[in-house]
Amino acid sequence: MKQIFLFTAEWCPICKTLEPVMDKINATVMPVGKINIDYEMDRTKSANVTSIPTVVLAENGQEIKRFVGDKTYEQVLEFIR
């Protein structure tokens, strides 16, 4: 089973741009786990996230791939495929 996670922070302007895209993914494709790096530091560190926004696609608990930065809805759909 595939899962997608968004590592984000309230103070990040690029995160605010990506958030509506990920909300649409959440509503139409698959649930998006949002991880606030300021509150979930251990999880952020264990995922080796050093820049935000970072989106991680995992399958059966293992990371498949990731991207950093902003993307359109269509680009995120392609990333998931």
Pairing type for strands 2-8 and 32-36 reads: parallel
Choosing from 3, 9, 12, 36, the catalytic residue is 12
Choosing from 5, 6, 8, 15, the catalytic residue is 15
Residue 71 bears catalytic tag:
no
Residue 15 bears catalytic tag:
yes
- Which token pair is 3? 């899962």
| Cα(4)–Cα(26) distance, integer angstroms | 9
Among 53, 44, 51, which residue's Cα sits nearest to residue 76? 53
Which residues are identified as catalytic? 12, 15
